[in-house]
Chains A and B, each alone.
Chain A
């Protein structure tokens, strides 16, 4: 509808700029935070963070051009490959003596559990799109997805990586919910979970994870141990006030009181220097991204793409939700980074795969709309 459209190449004008621009701003903002966290240096985090973003943005745009058929075709094989990689990681870890989450491919380290987050969404979207409509309330709609979820979730728990296992499970459950499984399943499942949680707490969690949960419930009980993380993070956020202490003035991060100031607790690092204002900006950008993603899902032409887009939104949402709740003392400490702010290649890649996939769904809906119009 805009005049310049005619002069801008279609490949560019078709891009969802209303999302790419806020995301770029958020990442640049993250770069600034990392720059400050490194004591006013581009190395080792800030420069890499921004370079990676543009690299993965290109990747996302390329994913955005992939036709739906390709997605459907790689859904199941991709899932199987990821499961094999998870087993491989486990084996290498066992042999090396200790836990390992990544494979060294020589040119980069690959964390298969990260890729499993979009992977599970893709395979379930494919599964439900293949499922005959009237089987949606039969066991065939429930058991195979649970198996599909169970294998990688168990493998990731073995690593042990509670955060990622939760992320994978959450993605899968939301997929099942959106696919239209009967409501009572989720209500009943919620109740069962409420019963199972204490059991899991005592029998499934590792000591350090159990401790984290306990400390989350009462951080002051262990102010110098694992409660330290939560306490220091709250101090960083709380001391920032509305406008923050100013760029480069975050004493909590600069004096090493804040643990993992450039990864899991980057939001606290940011909030200390930029205050509540910075926090609201971050929340606003995520609101824009999620609204866009859900709108794309609602407009999508078919069941597969609808589920795929909504599932990808959910995956990113889970990162954001858990991370921010953790740093503000509303959830126990689990190792989940904050998308586009935390330093780290694997999570950036996962998130950009999600964004790219939503962009692809957006693209699939366009010609359809064009045809209708």
Chain B
């Protein structure tokens, strides 16, 4: 093919022309390629690049929405928002964390433990997540940071709103708290709002359960900015849309009163409206202060709370499980009545009941003498209940307990209720493969043994018993809710139980000191004392706090026309005397706030200040002792996990009970050895009507 021809000018010229055409063709091809590419970028992909160009041009900074308020039944705020000045850090934008923090601590007077907390958070943060340095700043400090911004890269001072809980710790468990979104939150919901400085999401309880409703829609400030961030002009601001409020059935004043009244004890108070089933108060104390939790949980605060044996992180209303003690007796009696027992049928109590070759003791070893149902309730005679429970049988008693709401989980916007146990023969067989024994009935009728209830169930029980209506505890206010259906009890049965419970307080019963200082209003109630340890370890009244008996009191008022029902449970209070004075004062508050407050002021003087003052003093003591040396507080997720751990319901015992529990002594009205000795209410002299009405009630 390839002939070796002599090279001629003509051939070379031909080659040149051919190759020039080739070159031209290549150039044309490149031109076409470029035109196509141009069309692809500018026309086909136009929308994509237009969006990218807009997002370059316009800098959108989100304005966190104001959170919806949490209101009480009268419209008072349980959680609101307060305008404040705050300073945040974006770890990614900090050049030198130590220098920046040193400058900030000089400007803002930060304490060493606070600096240590911030360093922890910077370490744990994912860089783009803002870390709160300080909030609720005075203008002077805020301005001092603002003018030094050029030397503080990564620091963002801004005006905003922060969550405010006017009654502080009193609503901590009820409402929950807020906090900056965690890395997990951001993974779950990839929303830029979550990493906007100053934005907080609900971390617990209602704040968490109603996050969607409370959150609102963020506002935005749009500016045109250069690549280096210099603002060229303002393009406008869109206001935020505040979140929707939620209105609770809670009575804010009552809630706070009850929280304060619990005082130094560890316990809970639940108040329900007997007409509707509305929860008027739901208090578990001691409690963290949601205001300071919402600013971030500091190391000292965490140490203080986690070392407290009164478990302030546990919502005892829903997660505390206790043997109910004698508070079960009214409903056991009701079960007897429904089974056809004549209320006048009596048993002779000589301090114990012999069954076979065993004797089951009454709490009163001297015996109650001839005891019928009335006396059995107001004197809390154990023998009466042992005797007739044998006759009626456990199945009927357990059915009544379940009807009253025990062992039940209620639909509440809180995770993880501990709903306890109502034992019966079938349950025992399933659980332990053992036959039901006599002592099991004995235990159950006095609220010991396997029986475990939570305070909310106690409240539901007493409100159902008081009203004869099938109440479901309601927390969200609904003025148009249908009235609860009847329980189907016979009125004469209820009247008898009510009268017996009235006698407990206003007659010959076990809680004479619980009498209301309100003329014309009589409260009916039932005491309960539940043993924590056997008598071989302690007598339940004094000694080690952990070994003292739990004290219960359930009550309603007025006894003849029930309006309010209340359940008080005091952990290790040394028995019911720790509980019923609290119930009395809380009930008093519902009828006469002045009197109730006067009583509370007296107590708080003895306790060393009100709730905030006592918590502040404790915090100061801890801060002085540990300072920045306290171990780092866990982040929110870890904290909630730890709380979860702490809140695990009391496990049912692995091995079955083998004997009857000896009943804890129900105190007669008289000097009780409860640790915070219930002082004479200051209101006493002004209430001559209390005794008078007590007499007339019987």
A365 at the interface (CB under 8 A from B): no
Interface size class of B (residues with CB under 8 A): 35 or more
Pick from A174, A275, A310: contact of B42, CB under 8 Å: A275
How far, in Å, is A183 (CB) from chain B's closest CB? Answer: 9
In the complex the two chains form, is A255's CB within 8 Å of B224's CB? Answer: yes
B41 within 8 A of A: yes
Q: Which of A28-36, A94-102, A208-216, A286-294 contacts B (4 or more CB under 8 A)?
A: A286-294
Can you list 13 A-B contacts with CB-CB less than 8 angstroms, sorted by A residue number?
A178-B23, A235-B52, A235-B53, A255-B57, A255-B224, A255-B227, A279-B35, A279-B42, A280-B38, A283-B35, A290-B24, A297-B20, A303-B13
B20 in contact with A241 (CB, 8 Å): no
8 interchain residue pairs of minimum CB distance:
A238-B49, A239-B53, A276-B42, A251-B57, A238-B41, A134-B7, A180-B15, A239-B49
In the bound complex, residues from chain B placing their C-beta under 8 Å from that of A294 are 20, 23-24, 27
Query: CB distance A137 to B50 under 8 Å?
Result: no
- A178 in contact with B16 given A241-B50, A290-B24 (CB within 8 Å): yes
**Contact residues of B between 25 and 53, Cβ < 8 Å to A:** 27-28, 30-31, 33-35, 37-39, 41-43, 45-46, 48-50, 52-53
Give A147-158 as 1s and 0s: 1 = Cβ < 8 Å from B's Cβ atoms.
Answer: 000000000000
**Pairwise interchain contact A276-B56, C-beta atoms closer than 8 A:** no
Q: Is the CB of B42 within 8 A of A240?
A: yes
* Chain A residue contacts of B20, Cβ below 8 A: 178, 294, 297-298, 310
Chain A stretch 167-211: residues in CB contact (< 8 A) with chain B: 174, 177-180
Chain B hits for A127, CB < 8 A: none
A180-B19, A256-B227 known, 10 other contacts, Cβ within 8 Å = A133-B8, A136-B7, A239-B46, A240-B42, A241-B42, A255-B226, A283-B31, A290-B27, A294-B27, A321-B30
Indicate if A343 sits at the interface (CB-CB under 8 A): no
Contact yes or no, A310 B31, CB < 8 A: no
Residues of A contacting B43 in the complex (Cβ-Cβ under 8 angstroms) = 241-242, 276
Contact A328 B56 (CB under 8 A): no
- Is B9 among interface residues, defined by CB-CB distance under 8 A? yes
A325 contacts B by Cβ under 8 Å: yes
| B7:A271 contact, CB within 8 angstroms | no
Instruction: Assess whether A137 is in contact with B7, with CB atoms less than 8 Å apart.
Output: yes
Q: Is B232 an interface residue (CB 8 A)?
A: yes
The complex places the Cα of A201 from the Cα of B24 at a distance, in Å, of 30
B225 within 8 A of A: yes
Determine if A354 is an interface residue (Cβ-Cβ < 8 Å): no
Contact of A49 with B by CB under 8 A: no
Which residue in B38, B225, B226 is a CB contact (below 8 Å) of A237? B38
Question: How far in angstroms is the closest Cβ of chain B from A339?
Answer: 14
Residue of B nearest to A252 (CB): B53
Residues of B whose CB lies within 8 Å of any CB of A are: 6-9, 12-13, 15-17, 19-20, 23-24, 27-28, 30-31, 33-35, 37-39, 41-43, 45-46, 48-50, 52-54, 56-57, 224-228, 232
Say whether A330 faces chain B, with CB atoms less than 8 Å apart. yes
A341 contacts chain B at the CB level, 8 A cutoff: no
Most chain A C-beta atoms within 10 Å of own C-beta, residue among B28, B46, B225:
B46
Tell me if A238 and B24 are in contact (CB < 8 A): no
- Kindly provide the distance from the CB of B233 to the nearest chain A CB, expressed in whole angstroms: 11
B38 CB contacts on chain A under 8 angstroms:
237, 271, 276, 279-280, 283, 328
State the CA gap A279–B43 with chains docked (Å).
12
Per-residue 0/1 for A235-272: is the Cβ within 8 Å of any B Cβ (1 yes, 0 no)?
11111111000000001100111000000000000011
B92 CB, nearest partner CB in chain A, Å: 12
Report yes or no: B12 in contact with A180, Cβ–Cβ below 8 A: yes
Q: In the complex, how many angstroms separate the beta carbon of A298 from the nearest chain B beta carbon?
A: 6
Partner of A251, one of B12, B13, B30, B56: B56
Q: How far is the CA of A232 from the CA of B57 in the complex (A)?
A: 12
Contacts of A255 in B (CB 8 A): 56-57, 224-227, 232
Q: Please tell me if A342 contacts chain B, counting CB pairs below 8 Å.
A: no
Residues of A within 8 A of B54 (CB): 239
Closest residue of chain A to B225 (Cβ to Cβ) is A255
Are A178 and B19 closer than 8 Å at their CB atoms? Answer: yes
A306 part of interface (Cβ distance < 8 Å): yes
B104 to chain A, nearest CB (A): 27
B680 to chain A, nearest CB (A): 74
Inter-chain contacts of A252 with B (CB < 8 A): 53, 56-57
